[in-house]
Amino acid sequence: MIGSGKLATFLGKQFKSRWGTQVHITATTTQANKLAQIEDWADQGVCWNATQPLEPYCPTHTDILFCAVAPQSRADTSCWTNVAQAVVKLSPRFNKIIWISSTSVYASPPTPATLTEQAPLQTEHLSPLVTAENILAQGTPKDSTLILRLAGLYGSAIYSLHKRYAFFQQQQSVLSPHTPQNMTSVELVARSIFFLLDHPNLRRLEYLNICDLTHPTRQELADQIARAADYPPVQFQGNNPGRSQNKIIASHRLIELGFRFE
């Protein structure tokens, strides 16, 4: 596992729960002080960053390579392309590659529109995640490389919707109340990954959106959180669509493969 953030931690525990002693997990971190935390759920933690060779830390044969990379800051996004290049270099060692991307790769429509995996993407200049996806697509001749484009994560294992409520409070004077919200729970991500690992008919390269079926407006979501937590109501007064940028993300390919949302 390249990356040991909260999503990787949640999934690592799910892998252990499913496969027990049959699975050996090695997870990387860029911070040495986090190695002890990793070893709570992984068999081995290693300190590695994308400016170093990956070979010494990677077994010669790996069933699944899972990559959930996050930049240290918004200004430094080279980690995505650096890690993608490192993965391509060692791709013969991996049976399957699971790369966590984001629905931010899609270009923003002028008005709210439903986006499937075939929707237009941002240019590479605007999105280093698109660059990283292209590096993987061109350089990993595997039987199954899964590029999972996640909408905004939530859940007890990541962060609660209360964090989103705090952002809404701060920005209520500029954000539009009507913008649809795209959300993905960590539980849904885990269920999707296990479904895909068991699926017999995947393409060599799969792009899949993972997003909840419901898309409440920003105002509806804020109202739901406020009622559940007994918070003061938020009243949006602006017209800025914000990060959602009029996108309504559809998990089209996942449904096409037969996945059932609960």
pLDDT digits (tens, 9 = 90+) for 112-124: 899 999 999 998 7
| Angle, alpha carbons 234-236-241 (nearest 5°) | 130
Q: Report yes or no on 1 lying in a domain.
A: no
Q: Report yes or no on 225 lying in a domain.
A: no
Q: Report yes or no on 43 lying in a domain.
A: yes
Q: Report yes or no on 222 lying in a domain.
A: no
Q: Report yes or no on 113 lying in a domain.
A: yes
Q: Report yes or no on 54 lying in a domain.
A: yes
pLDDT (tens digit per residue) in 188-241: 999 999 999 999 999 989 999 999 999 999 999 999 888 888 899 999 998 887
- Residue 158: pLDDT band with limits 50, 70, 90: very low
Q: Report yes or no on 262 lying in a domain.
A: no
Using the predicted structure, report yes or no on whether residue 159 has a pLDDT greater than 60: no
Q: How many domains does the chain have?
A: 1
Using the predicted structure, report yes or no on whether residue 157 has a pLDDT greater than 50: no
Structural domain range at position 144:
6-160+183-214+248-256
Whether the predicted model's global pTM rises above the 0.95 cut? no
pLDDT (tens digit per residue) in 86-114: 999 999 899 999 999 999 999 988 888 99
Q: Report yes or no on 243 lying in a domain.
A: no
Using the predicted structure, report yes or no on whether residue 46 has a pLDDT greater than 60: yes
What CATH number does the domain containing 37 carry? 3.40.50.720
